[in-house]
Amino acid sequence: MKTLIITPVIFLVLSLVAVAQVDEIKSESSKHSNEKSTGSVTSSSDSDNNSFGAAMFAGLMRVTFGGVAIWQVHRLEKKPMDPSIVSFDLMLQGAIQPSTYYILQPRIRGTWGLFSTDYRSNYLIEESIEGTKHIRTDDWQILQLNILNTPNFTGRFGGGILHENFSGNKTFAEWTVGAILQNNSQKFGGMLEYRWSEPRLEASAQIHFNVFSGRSVNTYLTTGGVFQRYYDKVNVWGIQAGIMFRIAKWTASEVDY
């Protein structure tokens, strides 16, 4: 009987103590939009972020097409040692901050040698006394460069867009740096990633465990954590878990049965 009474009380207290992140994020997004439209507030940090993004994009554009082509050919020649150099990843991941928030991140990524493109939806769902609330962003890393690549390590950076599907459906530039690590048999690995844009900063770390190996598909269970900070004010974090499917052409010598 005590348990039946205490459990809902604990849940109620957690709900009351937790700040309503979804409402606060929406409020900050609307406030940010109004400040920009009226011109009443000028943020030097926003200007610095935009300048950095412009400089980064200009630097990418200065790379010669001939040099990129040679780099790409050299990268594709390494595929027999690392089939993930040409691959397609499907990730179904979610995170939870117990009794308060859920973060769902369905995601796909295609890799072709030097280049990758990465798309995901980011759902933040909040359980509160008032009911379930949620916000969604669509995050597309249009172009990522896999600048470092070995059978055990891939380092990448890139840029794309973050689209808020609330408070006016605004779109922002978003940048990422990340790394993928894996052992020689690709049975065990992980991923580190940092994203930054005007409305949100995000850091995440995951561990991947291979549970099925085939000639075309490898399946991994994933676990880790994610931290997000919206508009330099609202913090959200969660313990993460999910499943990842990697589609790549494996040869008999590359699969460890």
Give the highest mean pLDDT range of 14-28, 69-83, 232-246. Answer: 232-246
Residues 6+ apart with CB under 8 A from 241: 93, 94, 95, 221, 222, 223, 224
Whether the CB-CB separation of 221 and 243 falls below 8 Å is answered with: yes
Average pLDDT, the chain: 83
CA-CA distance, 129 to 124, in Å (whole number)? 17
Domain ranges for the chain? 17-248
Fold of 17-248: Lipocalin (2.40.128)
Q: How many residues does the chain have?
A: 257
Mean pLDDT of 8-26: 55
For residue 199, give the nearest of 84, 119, 122, 89 by alpha carbon: 122
Tokens 């993004």, residue located:
53
CB atoms within 10 A of CB 112: 15
CA-CA distance, 91 to 197, in Å (whole number)? 22
Query: To the nearest whole percent, how much of the chain has pLDDT over 70?
Result: 78
Which tens digits make up the pLDDT trace of 156-198? Answer: 999 999 999 987 889 999 999 999 998 887 789 999 999 999 9
Mean pLDDT of 235-255: 81
- Tell me the pTM: 0.77
